[in-house]
Every structure is written in C-alpha cells, then in structure tokens.
Amino acid sequence: MAKLTKRSEDYSKWYNELVVEADLAENSGVRGSMVIKPYGYAIWEKIQQELDRRFKETGHENAYFPLFIPKSYFSKEASHVDGFAKECAVVTHYRLKTSEDGKSIEVDENAKLEEELVVRPTSETIIWDTYRKWIQSYRDLPILVNQWANVVRWEMRTRLFLRTAEFLWQEGHTAHATEQEAIAEAEQMLNVYHDFLATFMAIPAIRGIKSANERFAGAVETYCVEALMQDGKALQAGTSHFLGQNFAKAFDVKFLDKTGKQEYVWATSWGVSTRLMGALIMTHSDDNGLVLPPNLAPFGVVIVPIYKGEEQLNAINEVAFEVKAELEALGIRVKYDNRDTHKPGWKFAEYELKGVPVRLAIGPKDLENGTIEVARRDTLEKELLQRVDIAHKVQHLLARIQENLYDKALTHRDDHTHVVDSWDEFVSVLEEKGGFLMAHWDGTSETEEAIKAATKATIRAIPLDGLEEEGVCVFSGKPSERRVIFAKAY
Amino acid sequence: MAKLTKRSEDYSKWYNELVVEADLAENSGVRGSMVIKPYGYAIWEKIQQELDRRFKETGHENAYFPLFIPKSYFSKEASHVDGFAKECAVVTHYRLKTSEDGKSIEVDENAKLEEELVVRPTSETIIWDTYRKWIQSYRDLPILVNQWANVVRWEMRTRLFLRTAEFLWQEGHTAHATEQEAIAEAEQMLNVYHDFLATFMAIPAIRGIKSANERFAGAVETYCVEALMQDGKALQAGTSHFLGQNFAKAFDVKFLDKTGKQEYVWATSWGVSTRLMGALIMTHSDDNGLVLPPNLAPFGVVIVPIYKGEEQLNAINEVAFEVKAELEALGIRVKYDNRDTHKPGWKFAEYELKGVPVRLAIGPKDLENGTIEVARRDTLEKELLQRVDIAHKVQHLLARIQENLYDKALTHRDDHTHVVDSWDEFVSVLEEKGGFLMAHWDGTSETEEAIKAATKATIRAIPLDGLEEEGVCVFSGKPSERRVIFAKAY
C-alpha cells in the first residue's frame, strides 16, 4: 500500500488517489463512466436508505420512468433544451450485425430509429409527458413521486464521483394545484437535504437560491445546498427547483380546479447524486485516507488481534467475538479481521485508509490486564480502555465522532468564510485564502459573468438565512441589498 | 371503474387491463419502455429488499458498473455476441444541435463516437473487463458481487413486465478459484431464488437445468426456476449460470493459485427481473383484479368506514384509528381510507382490484355490537369478528392467506402437470389442457427444435428433483434416461 499524496502538495491528486486506494470507485473501460466498487457502493446505499426514508416520511412514493427520451420531447421546453439536450448520449440504431468478413460486429444501417432517443440527462420531459395522463382534476393532486436512477450527461473532463458521464441519483418530480404549494414543496425538500447533510453526513451546508445564471434549465427558481470543501472550493450538494408551470405548459398538463376551471399544474423537481460521495470525501478526509462519519460507515468498528502463534490468537478470538457480539447487540456493525495473511500494521493502515471510525486492538497484554486499545479515526487518538462495558463506551464514542466531524467541518467553513468589501479585497482573498466570499452584488447577470471571467468565481448561493444589508457591489459599485456567496466551485 | 375482461374470455387482455387498472405500470411514449407506477414500484421494492437481504446473508455485496459497453467487448466471447449484441440499443453520437432553421434539434454529425456504445443487455463483458484488474491471486477470490440495474434488449413485441425493451433487474457476477466452488455458487443462488419464490412470493417453482438450446449465451450450464401460470403457460422466473472459464478466457482474467500456478478464473452469473411482477400477477390474481401475497402488499390491510354524516364518521374514526395503531404495532402496514369523495362500494372494488389482502369495514352497527367485518381478498370470504383482539386475528389471517396462496398455486401446478407417453398424447394434452408436460426426450437439439416447430412447446427444465427413469422419446422413439418438462412459455 503506497502512501497517498499529501493534500497540501496536490489536493486534486490526493482526491483521485484516495477514491481508488480506499476502494470507492475507479475508472472503467468506458470513457467518463466509473465503476463504483463494493465499499464505495455500501456507503452510497447508506445515503440512499436514509434519504429514501426521509422522502417517504414526507409523503413521497418511488416510481420508475424510461431511460430513453424521444429527441422531440426536449424541444418542448425552450430553456430546458439549451441546458440539457446538447451534450448527451444519442441512441440512433437498435441492432448490430456481423461484418462481412465475419471478424467483427458493426451497426446495422437497416436498423436506424425513426426518431433518435436521448439517454436521460434528467427526466422532467418524460415524466411530464406521463403526468398528462395521470392528472385530470384537483383530486389527482398533489403527485409526490421520486425516482432512483442512472442518468447520462456527456462531460468532456470527468472526475470520479464529481463529474462523470453516467452517474446515479434520485430525482423527485411533484405536481401541485397551486403555486404556493409547489414553492412550499421545493423549500421542504431543500430542508430535507440540508438536515440530511448536517445530521447524517456531518456536512454543514448553506441553504440558498441560485442566481439566474446558475439556475436549472427550465426552473423559475433553483434552491441549493452549497458546501465548502477543504481546499476552499464550493460544491453544490443538492438542488430543489420550483418549475412554475413551465413543464405543464410544454406538455399540456391541465387540471380542473375546485371551481371547475382548467388550470396548468405547478411543478417542482429536486435531486442529489453520487456527487455526494465527493462531498463526503472532501469534507472529512485527511492525508491518511478516508474519514467516515459513523452514520455512513459500512462498518463502524474494526477489531484487530495482535498475536504470535495460534494459542494467543485463540485466546484473543474469544474476547474479540464477545466484544463483537456486544457491539452488534447495540446495532453497531463490526468487522473482526483475524486473517493471518496480513500483519497488524498493514491492517491498521488499511482501515485508516478506508475511514473506519473506530479501531479496537487486542493483544496478549490486554488479555492479562482486561484492557482494549481504542483508536478513533477522526483525531487519530488512542486510549487504553477497560474491557468492562466496552460496547457502551464505543457507542458513545461513535456519537462523539459523528458530532466532532460536523463541528470540525463547521469551524472550517466559518474560518474560510470571508466578508469582502472591495474588488481588490475580493481578488486577493479569493487567491490567497479561497473559501466563501460574502460580497455585495448588484443583481445583474452581466456583473456575475464579468466576475467569473476575471476570477473563475461564481455566485454559489444567495443565502436564505442571510440578513438584508445595504451595500455596494464589489465589482460595479452599484447598490446591493444583501451579500451573496461567491466561490470557485467543483 | 370498468370491470376487467374475464380470464376465461381472453387471458392476455385480462392481464394487460389488470396491469394498467391496478396502477402497476403503463406504456410510455417510448416504444417498448414502460412506466412503473408508484403502486407497482412499491411491490417491486418489497421484492428488491427481500432479495437483497438474502444476497447479503449469503455473503454478496452490491456494486455498480457502467450502463454503456464498448461494442468490441461483445465480440470477445463468441457465443455471447450471438445471444446479446444483436438486438440492442446503440449509442453512436454524443451531441445534438439546433437545426439550421432553428425549429428543431438534430444529431450533430461532428459528434460521432469513434467506437459505438451498446446499452447493456447484461453486464458479463464490462464486469469481467473490470475483474481483470481486481484479481491477481487466490487471495482476491472469491468475488461475490451483485448489481441492481436497468438493462435494455430491443424486443419487437413487448408486454408490460413480461417483455419490455428496458427492464429492471439484479445481476450477480461471481468469480471463483475452482470449478466446484463456482458450481456450488450457481446452485446456491438457484436455491435462494427457489426459496424466495416459495416463501415470499407464494410461487411454487420447479428447479431445473436448461437444455443446450435454451442455455444462456456464454454459459456452460444454465439453472432455472420455472413457474406455471394460470393459463397453463410456463414463465422462467429466474436463472443462475455456471459460466465455466468462458469469460475469464475472453477477458484474460487469471490468478495465481496456492501452488503458484496461473489459472483462469471460474465464473457464475444469476438474475431475476421485473418479470417477476408478471409471474406474481399470473399466479395469484382473479377476475376481480390483483391478489397480493401479504409479504408483497404495500399495505396488508385497508380499513373502510361505512357511515352517513359527520357524527357517524367521527365515531367510526375513533375505532378505526385504534385498530390501525394496534395493527401497526404488530408491523402490519395499514391504510385507513376515510375520504368523503368516494362511496364504500367504490372503495371495496378499488382495493379488490389492487389486491389488498385484508379489508376491514366498520359501520354504525359494528360500533353498537363491538364487531368488525373482515374480508379476505384471496377467497373473497367475509366474516364478522369481535373487535376484541382484532389485531392478532388479522395477523393470523394474513399468515393464512400467504399460505393459502402458495397451496392454491401448488395445487394448480399439480393439476396441470401431465405425464405424457406418446406423441399423440403430447399434442392433444398440450392443446386441450396446456400446463407442464412430463415427457421423455432423446437429449438432442434436433428433436427439441422439431417439437418446438410442431407445437411451440419448448423444454422448460430438466428437473433437478426428477427421478431417473428409463423410457423412449415421445417424438423420436429413441432411448431417454429421464423425463423433462415441456410447455409453451412466456
């Protein structure tokens, strides 16, 4: 096992190495598509399960819509087509045949589709085409549906989890009788994401609204949760869109309201993706590898025996299996690694790399003294604890680690959130410190684009929790009513 | 709500109507692709969860591999290419552009892929291309991985759940150091399917081996679970393949064994799909609609109030919510439908159509007498039970319904399994009675093909539990060692 590149040397290289070395994902033989390995997928499953629980708790059901979308569907919503139909995978044929020399296979030109099919980059169009059949009257509303699916966006420069041609996600698509109800839904789901990130992934995110430039193609308003990574760059962790009646009008979805009037339906959509794996890594991990919040760990505890010879191992096994059973009785998943093919030192490094929150080591001295060495992954601290009641102590330790990771990330975010009041300050802070820049902005797309062109920083969010505060735009000097968050972003 | 076509009138029409009317699935705007509606998807989720639990219990982990497979991968395994690479969706371009007149979008010919990508019809090739990187020594084996995914096979004639261009499934792909271990794995997973079908879906299936004609393209041996539908046709519910070293050789996957020798890796793959939804429907349902085994029901119990006026409703609400809470305390999911927009008769028909196992009705007389009307969906029987301890009574009833559905399906299978000993008998029983025909067969592909050409019946399985029994082939008169199962199939 080679050591990872240090974050301070090359953050990007560290990230790429960590993803592969910790067995999370790897590049495949298909350009831009990744393989999510079992350990990485087990973490994604924990994310899925908890989100799914929260979606159902808020009244949503799952459904499944087609992978393929007829090309013409994309033309129906004007801004949507610009945002999505361009860089996408297009299915043009439905058959291959053996070449004439019999040595290879080739596309059968006789099997050309009448209308090309786009591999879904997002499903608003196919879903609203379906909702037209489901909705006649106000009694059919609201529709609160979510889909877990794969989507494809043809990205030229890809990075594992952060930007891949194919990725996994969930997309909620809801239909409502009133504008207020749809806005409330979009805001509710933003809060679901925000709370999930904080309490489950230990990621403190800012809730905000996107500027027009960064808005979802087809949305009236895009809400977002924006997190700050260790290197001072922002990562959009999730979005929730109020779509107005745009898709209802594009797909002619009307309903009879209580007064007997035909109205267009109001819509939202909201999603998070395997990108969250990137957020997880770049929020908590260190130069030794992944650091997992206990809520996300495929196993929260690993036990490693330290022994010479079979007799010692047998004695340690006895204690280890007892401890494992006690921990499992508390609902904690435990791995006991007593393989004789690897040395304890190798195992320590391996589980550190994989981010296992707590490691217990048991040696012959521990048997004599009734002790166990407990190491926590987040602080790398070790202590010797009495064997008695070890399970409850570890349970409390796991809770403390979960909290500590959140606190640490919050402190990091606070330390890297800078109030800047002039263009010089904006540029120098961005270059020297990075992070979230709280700056006044005149509200125009032109200024946002000029700032982006000059610095690569974009408006990540107009914070929902931000105070109104009069000021002048750092770039144009024009009046501004509140500070917005600028940052370079993933 | 229109009545369904009767099964005796037109089984196929009954099926199509039921799938749509019971809100399970519907056709989409994309040829051959279905929309799985929330109620149908909730049943699929129950299938998924239980299978996933059983896969993990037997040591498997989930992972995710790319949707797209480079065309050339399919050419590497000779028999596999014939079986799969032909009828498939082919991605040839990665960009659309606005047409010159600005009115539509079209494929950008400048964005043609160097090598076409096939949308996965099954993932052996991309997975074994990946396993080459994961496997060096016997220490890396076995690999026990499963994937939940969507796959696409371009079918010309499609039917909801039974045969769709895109469908959802799981595919297990395992790698082993020895032939015996791989065969044991393929057999283990066959048994997992068989037991799951019996105990969870109440479907009695036959475990067997496929003849060479029906074998998976690339397999050495295909094991199958084969179920008999109400109309006397067979449905392949799942398959488990022993792949030998075929894919290891095609993708050059070798390992260093314990003696230091390079060997090719042994493989299995196994899968079930949303086709199981079709098996579920055609095993248990009746002319009134879907009949769900309690294990698969999104809600096991529905409570319907029968009332005039608000006062009566309030009084019934009180009892209904109590009963609901008692049932939920036993882990039973309950829907209380006290909507005032629909009459009780409408609700009765609706939940019958949707297959809810138990319906409780509470009216004013019941309040007086301390009774509740309990109706079971499987037999359509009703009885008046005392309110006291109703939750436990319903719990037992649900268990009885689960058992009864299995017993009924088993009886149906037994009644429609016919031993036939001559060609005349074969033809007349197949035409007049349908079902499973237990017949002697000479073991050759020629005979199997001739029988298929003459009758449309194929060998569904060479039963694993079948006795050796000398005989002569019903078609050729040549010697045979055991009976095999012929049937027409979905």
CATH of the domain at A196: 3.30.930.10
Peptide bond into A298 cis (omega under 30): no
Is B116 in Cβ contact with A30 (below 8 Å)? Answer: no
Domain's final residue, options B251, B284, B317: B284
Q: How far is CA A139 from CA A55, A136, B308, in A?
A: 22, 8, 22
B303 vs A347: CA distance, rounded Å: 56
Is B75 in Cβ contact with A92 (below 8 Å)? Answer: no
Report pLDDT digits (tens) over A89-107. 999 999 999 888 877 889 9
pLDDT at B467: 80
Show the tokens assigned to B103.
Answer: 């009115």
Is A150 in Cβ contact with B35 (below 8 Å)? Answer: no
Mutate to test the interface with A, among B94, B107, B166 (most CBs of A within 10 A): B94
Contacts of A61 in chain B (CB under 8 A): 38, 41-42
> How far apart are the CA of B259 and the nearest CA of chain A, in angstroms?
16
Q: Residues B258-273: what's their mean pLDDT?
A: 97
Contacts of B119 in chain A (CB under 8 A): 67, 91, 119
> How far apart are the CA of B358 and the nearest CA of chain A, in angstroms?
22
B334 part of a folded domain:
yes
What is the CA A445 to chain-centroid distance, rounded?
27
Residue B265 contacts residue B179 (beta carbons within 8 Å) = no
Give yes or no: residues B245 and B367 share one domain: no
B272 part of a folded domain:
yes
A397 vs A395: CA distance, rounded Å: 5
Q: How far is CA A138 from CA A141, A191, A262, in A?
A: 5, 26, 10
Q: What share of chain B is helix, strand, coil (3-state, %, to 5)?
A: 40, 30, 30
Give yes or no: residues A318 and A398 share one domain: yes
First to last CA, chain B: 29
Give yes or no: residues A163 and A212 share one domain: yes
Domain's final residue, options A371, A403, A435: A403
pLDDT at A85: 64
Give yes or no: residues A260 and A372 share one domain: no
pLDDT at A99: 84
On the question of pLDDT at B83 being above 90, the answer is: no
On the question of pLDDT at B85 being above 70, the answer is: no
CA atoms within 13 A on the CB side of A157: 1
On the question of pLDDT at B205 being above 90, the answer is: yes
Q: Please give the helix or strand (H or E) that residue B312 lies within, else none.
A: helix B309-329
Give yes or no: residues B393 and B438 share one domain: no
Count of C-beta atoms within a 10 Å radius of residue B315: 15
Report pLDDT digits (tens) over B112-155. 999 999 999 999 999 999 999 999 999 999 999 999 999 999 98
- Answer positive or negative: Cα dihedral of A317, A318, A323, A325: positive
Q: Residues A422-432: what's their mean pLDDT?
A: 97
- 3 state SS of A435: coil
Show the tokens assigned to B465.
Answer: 């539990």
* The one-letter amino acid at A463: P
Nearest residue in B to A298, CA atom: B61
Q: Residues A3-10: what's their mean pLDDT?
A: 97
Q: Residues A37-65: what's their mean pLDDT?
A: 98
A110 part of a folded domain:
no
CA atoms within 13 A on the CB side of B467: 3
Confidence category of residue B1, pLDDT binned at 50, 70, 90: low
Give yes or no: residues A384 and A433 share one domain: no
Contacts of B85 in chain A (CB under 8 A): 96, 105
Nearest residue in B to A24, CA atom: B63
Peptide bond into B142 cis (omega under 30): yes
Is B62 in Cβ contact with A89 (below 8 Å)? Answer: no
Is A38 in Cβ contact with B63 (below 8 Å)? Answer: yes
A94 part of a folded domain:
no
Report pLDDT digits (tens) over B323-367. 999 999 999 999 999 999 899 999 999 999 999 999 999 999 999
Nearest residue in A to B75, CA atom: A104
Q: Residues A417-428: what's their mean pLDDT?
A: 98
Q: Please give the helix or strand (H or E) that residue A246 lies within, else none.
A: helix A246-250
β-pairing, B87-93 vs B143-152, is unpaired
Specify the number of domains making up chain A: 3
State pTM to two decimals: 0.97
Report pLDDT digits (tens) over A263-283. 999 999 999 999 999 999 999
Contacts of B87 in chain A (CB under 8 A): 94-95
Count of C-beta atoms within a 10 Å radius of residue B42: 21
A361 vs B72: CA distance, rounded Å: 49
Nearest residue in B to A62, CA atom: B38
A239 part of a folded domain:
yes
A73 part of a folded domain:
no
Contacts of B72 in chain A (CB under 8 A): 104
* Measured CA angle at B228 (ends B226, B233), to 5 deg: 105
- Answer positive or negative: Cα dihedral of B4, B9, B14, B16: negative
Q: Please give the helix or strand (H or E) that residue A68 lies within, else none.
A: strand A68-70
Contacts of A64 in chain B (CB under 8 A): 35-36, 41, 44, 168
Q: Which domain range does residue B475 map to?
A: 417-487
Contacts of A92 in chain B (CB under 8 A): 90-93, 107
Contacts of A41 in chain B (CB under 8 A): 61-64
Q: What share of chain A is helix, strand, coil (3-state, %, to 5)?
A: 40, 30, 35
Domain's final residue, options B284, B308, B336: B284
Give yes or no: residues B339 and B424 share one domain: no
Give yes or no: residues A134 and A222 share one domain: yes
Question: For residue A236, with 0-12 CB atoms within 10 Å meaning exposed, 13-18 middle and 19 or more buried, which class applies?
Answer: buried
Is A85 in Cβ contact with B68 (below 8 Å)? Answer: no
| Mutual angle of helices A275-284 and A390-415, in 10-degree steps | 90
Residue indicated by tokens 């296992």: A356
B311 part of a folded domain:
yes
Nearest residue in A to B33, CA atom: A66
Give yes or no: residues B55 and B130 share one domain: yes
Give yes or no: residues A219 and A303 share one domain: no
Question: For residue A110, with 0-12 CB atoms within 10 Å meaning exposed, 13-18 middle and 19 or more buried, which class applies?
Answer: exposed
Show the tokens assigned to A478.
Answer: 């024009």
> How far apart are the CA of B428 and the nearest CA of chain A, in angstroms?
39
**Average pLDDT value for chain B:** 96
pLDDT at A466: 78
Nearest residue in A to B96, CA atom: A86
First to last CA, chain A: 29
CATH of the domain at B328: 3.40.50.800
Residue B387 contacts residue B372 (beta carbons within 8 Å) = yes
- 3 state SS of B180: helix
Nearest residue in A to B298, CA atom: A61
On the question of pLDDT at A443 being above 80, the answer is: yes
Report pLDDT digits (tens) over B420-432. 999 999 999 999 9
Give yes or no: residues B24 and B150 share one domain: yes
A483 part of a folded domain:
yes
Residues in chain A: 490
Q: How far is CA A1 from CA A4, A140, A288, A350, B116, in A?
A: 9, 58, 12, 8, 37
Is A95 in Cβ contact with B93 (below 8 Å)? Answer: no
Residue A257 contacts residue A177 (beta carbons within 8 Å) = yes
Give yes or no: residues A241 and A368 share one domain: no
CATH of the domain at A475: 3.30.110.30
Q: Which residues pair with B236 in a beta bridge?
A: B226
Mutate to test the interface with A, among B21, B67, B88, B354 (most CBs of A within 10 A): B67
B323 vs B302: CA distance, rounded Å: 11
B466 vs B439: CA distance, rounded Å: 12
Contacts of A24 in chain B (CB under 8 A): none
Confidence category of residue B22, pLDDT binned at 50, 70, 90: very high
A224 vs B185: CA distance, rounded Å: 46
